[in-house]
A and B are shown apart, each in its own frame.
Chain A
Amino acid sequence: MTTVTIATTTAGARPLADTLTMLRRNLLRAVRYPGLTSFTIAIPVILLLLFVFVFGGAFGAGVMPGVAPGADGRAAYLDYITPAILLFAVVGAAQSVAITAAMDATSGIMARFKTMAISSGSVLGGPVLGTVVQGLVAVAVVLGLAVALGYRPHAGGLGWLALAGLLALVTFALSWLCVAMGLSAPSVETASNTPMILTALPFLGSGFVPVETMPAGVRWFAEYQPLTPIIETTRALLAGTPLNTSTTLQALAWSVLIAALGYAWSRALYRRERR
């Protein structure tokens, strides 16, 4: 994970130590300003409750043929959407780093960092790693709630480890993309606009309803968009069923690609002159 963060070694800078310093700063800020973090955790929690208790009774019968609407439907739907809600938590955490990055870029503190012997990977990598921590906390909270509502994962020890690794990687990748989006925003207020697109992704996939039920164009997008293999791999890991090699590789490849693009874009924006 840190290999991407410390890709360039610069004289005077100590990339690993500087990244950890910036991570510490980011976590400290999250504690001082818990509003953003609580918000990113509250959204998937509300979504889970909404989808299970309001839509679940009817939708469950739709996604699981043979299940009766009502309580059985709710249980079936909880089972079906929990993986997608976890991805929603991950996406929400990543989006918040766009605001964090824009706050730094507009406040003058980033200008100070730029005049110091610290690499861009460290200045921006700290918040990214902090977001991975926040994303995993959000995932744990949502998963805990799902279990309290009756969800029963069947992952083994290795499965849990793989799940944490996958979700950390996805948060890491999306966070780099969101850092770039935050840096390209002219103000803090507009920083969350572009990342908003990501909110739609868990819906436009196999997370909430089977893609077979969608019209051709939407279905095509849903089948090939990056979050679909990620959600399916998450689903399989939670269910403890064998992984589909091709789907898993797609999930990993998308994550690495998004991380690389987001990282390169962020670095370019960091050294850009701000207007």
Chain B
Amino acid sequence: MTSNLAVDVRGLRKSYGDLTVLDGVDLAVEAGTVTALLGPNGAGKTTAVGVLSTLLKADAGTVRVAGHDVVAQPEAVRASIGVTGQMSAVDDLLTGVENLRLMASLHHLGRHDGRERADALLAQFGLTDAARKPVSTWSGGMRRKLDLAMTLVGAPAVVFLDEPTTGLDPRSRRTLWDEVRALVAAGTTILLTTQYLEEADQLADRVAVLDGGRIVAEGTPAELKSTHDAGSLDDVFLRLTEPTPEPSADPTTKEVAR
């Protein structure tokens, strides 16, 4: 069947009360490729990543990750994935190296291998100098890099990155891009969300645009640009996604200004 699909989503629906966030999402990511999931704020990208990573329960549809169904075999899915959420997920009271060694222990790497893996990742992300200071004293970008490094400790087969480069300086962003390319070269599958469309253009084999609860366009960056007769993915994005309604003028603003 579709055994080379690392992510296979069909008819995914998810609502919060009356708010339907995902309204029949279909998405397929081939193993060893990068897919970028784009969409305006509030489109449901984080919600989709939540369902794929077993954090949230779908209302309908089937979701398979690394060949396992997220409902029937959540443990098998968890054993195959690495997730960097939009929200920081580091232990503030521990140091950088302690955070990474914690991940290594939870992946049962063993003392020696765990230490080597932690040191290698610290070096890779340029965090070696700060490694022995508590993470609470780190800058936002440094914490983001640690977050990503922690996700990679277990060498997961499928990686979900929710806006991984938000808050990173241009150099760090490029370092991360190189990192992603290296992971993919080694056979890892990556699904990432981003608001930097240049990032999608640079990195992604395929791009999917989520809007109004559905995937409204899907293809390679070149395909999307040519079908929509656009010079950049920015233009594609603007043409495809409905404009967010202007926030209605706040009556209190005038009061305050007066």
Is B172 located at the chain interface by the 8 A CB criterion?
Answer: no
Residues of B within 8 A of A11 (CB): 75-76, 79
Query: Which residues of B (109-164) have their CB < 8 Å from a CB of A?
Result: 134, 150, 154
Residue from B54, B75, B91 in contact with A29 in the complex, judged by beta carbons closer than 8 Å: B91
**Chain B CB within 10 A, most for which of A21, A25, A111, A116:** A116
- Asked if B91 and A25 sit within 8 Å, CB to CB, the answer is yes
The 8 Å CB contact of A109, one of B55, B75, B90, B108, is B90
25 A-B pairs whose Cβ atoms sit less than 8 Å apart in the complex: A10-B75, A11-B75, A12-B75, A12-B76, A12-B79, A13-B75, A17-B105, A17-B108, A21-B106, A25-B91, A28-B93, A29-B91, A29-B93, A32-B94, A33-B93, A107-B88, A107-B91, A108-B85, A108-B90, A109-B91, A111-B55, A112-B85, A113-B106, A114-B54, A273-B55
Which residues on the B side are within 8 Å of A118 (C-beta)? 106
Q: Which residue of B lies closest to A8 (CB)?
A: B75
Question: Could you say which residues of chain A place their CB within 8 Å of the CB of B98?
Answer: 28
CB-based nearest A residue for B160:
A115
Q: B64-92 interface mask toward A, CB cutoff 8 Å, 1 = contact, 0 = none? A: 00000000000110110101010111111
Tell me whether B75 and A115 are in contact (CB under 8 A): no
Residue ID in chain A nearest B90 by CB atoms: A109
User: How far, in whole Å, are A118 and B100 apart by their CA atoms in the complex?
Assistant: 16
Give the distance to chain B from A220, nearest Cβ to Cβ, in Å.
Answer: 44
The secondary-structure label for the interface of chain B is loop
Central interface residue in A14, A24, A32, A273, by most chain B CB within 10 Å:
A32
Known contacts A33-B93, A273-B55; 6 additional CB pairs below 8 A are A18-B106, A25-B91, A32-B93, A111-B87, A114-B54, A116-B154
B residues within 8 Å of A by Cβ?
53-57, 75-76, 78-79, 81, 83, 85, 87-94, 98, 102, 105-106, 108, 134, 150, 154
* A108 with B81: CB separation less than 8 A: no
Distance in angstroms between the alpha carbons of A170 and B102 in the assembled complex: 29
Complex Cα–Cα for A207 and B134 (A): 43
Interface range, A side: 20 to 34
Contacts of B90 in A (CB 8 A): 108-109
Nearest CB of chain A from residue B122's CB, rounded to whole Å: 18
State A11–B93 Cα separation when bound (angstroms).
30
The interface residues of chain B lying within 8 Å CB-to-CB of A273 are 55-57
Instruction: Judge if A117 is at the interface, Cβ distance under 8 Å.
Output: yes
Interface residues of A in 58-101 (CB under 8 A from B): none
How many Å lie between the Cα of A13 and that of B91 in the bound state? 21
CA distance A115 to B105 in the complex (A): 15
Q: Is the CB of A29 within 8 A of B78?
A: no
Query: Complex Cα distance A18/B78, Å?
Result: 15
Would A116 and B76 count as touching, CB distance under 8 A? no
A251 to B53, CA, bound (A): 43
Closest B residue to A12 by beta carbon equals: B79
Please give the distance in Å from A144's CB to the nearest CB on chain B.
28
- Which chain B residue has the least Cβ–Cβ distance from A275? B16
Name the one of A14, A17, A111, A115 contacting B78, with C-beta atoms under 8 angstroms: A115
